[in-house]
Structure 1
Amino acid sequence: MILVTGGAGFIGANFVLDWLAQSDEGIVNVDKLGYAANRQSLAALDGDSRHVFVHGDIADRALVTALLHEHRPRAMIHFAAESHVDRSIHDPSPFMESNIAGTFALLESVRDYWQNLSVEQQAAFRWMQVSTDEVYGALEPDAAAFTEMHPCLPNSPYAASKAAADHLVRAWHHTYGLPVLTTRCSNNFGPRQFPEKFIPLLILNALSGRSLPVYGDGLQVRDWLYVGDHCGAIRAVLASGEVGATYNIGAGQEKTNLEVVDTVCSLLDELQPRADGRSYRAQIEHVADRPGHDRRYAIDATLLRTELGWAPAVPFEGGLRNTVSWYLTNATWLQSATRDGYAAWMAQQYAGVR
């Protein structure tokens, strides 16, 4: 049995589905079902005894302690986090509460559990911290990609909260001996991603006849990683990673935002053309850049490739085709994801955009 936090969110849900498609080892999945989580992402597991879903907060130490003692997991994979840069700029407080205070509470619950295991069980246990390349800050256009030796220089409240959580995890390893692993991934994309993030936002807006907002000149660069490849990397690190180590996860697929928009439009033009015959590119609209927008991220995943033999399997274009196709055939999921406060948030974030 493993315990997963945030397993109804984008990466967490994809990991849970991927894990149970390849293993009979069960999962206890704790998620507070915040705005970006979606139980429909896990609908395929309804009735599956290998999946125990618990609606709860990782900061609830009594709950987490009870789950640890009931299910006796051999590992914990910590996905749960507030993760949207724009929201962290508008209001940093939820990021400090969830990503820092929540991680601290979870560490203490897990430490108490781990310290009462047998020596053999302690040695076998793993805490996996799922983090982000944004903790490293930004890169110049010609700079070498981030390695694991790059210092943490976060530039947004979100990135700072994730860096703080990573430092807490590192400290609990060095101070108390908790066996930890940390991964830092590049920009993920794929099915089941909440449509405030760039690619699903483009798809939803295109289909709804709204503008496709592009910050500034659109030349910001990201290394795009298909979520299925990310799940495979996490499995590899959990199975064979060196305790205390950090592993970067990236696909080496750097694209500007404009290149991403152009590819999304091309796929939609092919798969679901506009009624008027025009390209979805007609809906592109440049908007004011966000404060402190990092210009470029890029990940050097050499350590993961050479030490653990992992390599990405899905090229950007193929992964994006899979992603667009998934959203086109999952209207019910999209409707559930965009109810409640979604429209109000979009109106606030993109005020004045058509």
Structure 2
Amino acid sequence: MKKLIPILITSKHLYGFIGCIVLTLCLILSNTSFAQKQKLLVSGKIAIDDGKPAGTVIKIEKDGTHWKNVSVGENGRFTIGLEYQFDYILSFEKKKYVTKKISISTKLPPDVKIDEGYDPFQFNINLFKQYEGVNTVVFNQPVGIIKYSSKKDDFDFDTDYTKSIQSEISKAESEVEVKKNEEKEQQKQEQLANNLNKANNTANNDANKAKAKQDEDSKNKVKPKAENDNKNIQNAGKSTNEEYQAMLKAKAENDARKRNEAQAKSEEDKRRLAEAKAKQEEEMRKAKAAGKLKSYLASIYPNGITIEKSKDDRKESNRYIVNRDSLANEYIEVIHSWGGKYYFKNGETISNIIFKKETKPIGVEPVYIKNE
């Protein structure tokens, strides 16, 4: 039988062993951190018009070749690590929705080092339904390009590219909005018709049940003292049934009339609002054409700064009317859900710096805010 030889582990050996473990962990963490810095992280959130993000797939091309797919969960959030020095196309796809693409180039100039890496780049994407008859050819190309900017020493959207396709994107989005409203109106009318049919069916069923109960009660009754009494009972039952049917029918018709009146009033309000807005826009157009836009705006807006805000699923628009010394300028800020920002002064494109400088209140200048 072999004897076991005891091994004495001294504190010196133990500390050496622990030191090896710590060194190994440091190397692993260091390599992991270095690997993360070798990738540009892009993240964001997907919004689905009248739907949920679940089922959305991000198909990624790397230098023109399919690389991988990324599935999106219920919260719509995504984070993707892209290696540097490659060109990527991210296609955001969901069944029955228009696909949108984002082009991302992680290529850097030779003199730029990536030892420290770059902060994650964030953007949001909104997908809307595919409607028959709507021209969506513009979305065959990327809706945005992200690349390195030597001016910022960081990654940013190519605003020149975005401006070149903005009018086509806006046109397609407007057509989609019209189709969306038409679809909602059709669904509303179908629901009204279904409610009316349901009310009529309920009235008929209740009337039939009442008649059946009356017939059953008549069979169980003792013979009437006279035929005249029996006739009176039948007539009374018939009258009650007819009155009940008439009451239910009148109620259904009254409910339908109220719904139609409410709908007509809503449509009339929309029409009047659209006419007023169109009239104001036409007056502004004429004033601008005649070179009198500033004085015209000054005549209908108070002194100070008036901010008119509007927002939908795809963009946020903020209109600033700056009225000073009886002359007013119109500034418009447009913020798209996918990250693009544009600024205009009296219809002409301006920079963010000029916009913020000229729309900033002076002293105790009053500011009025209106939400559409």
More strand by share: 2
TM over 0.5: no
Q: TM-score, normalised by structure 2?
A: 0.19
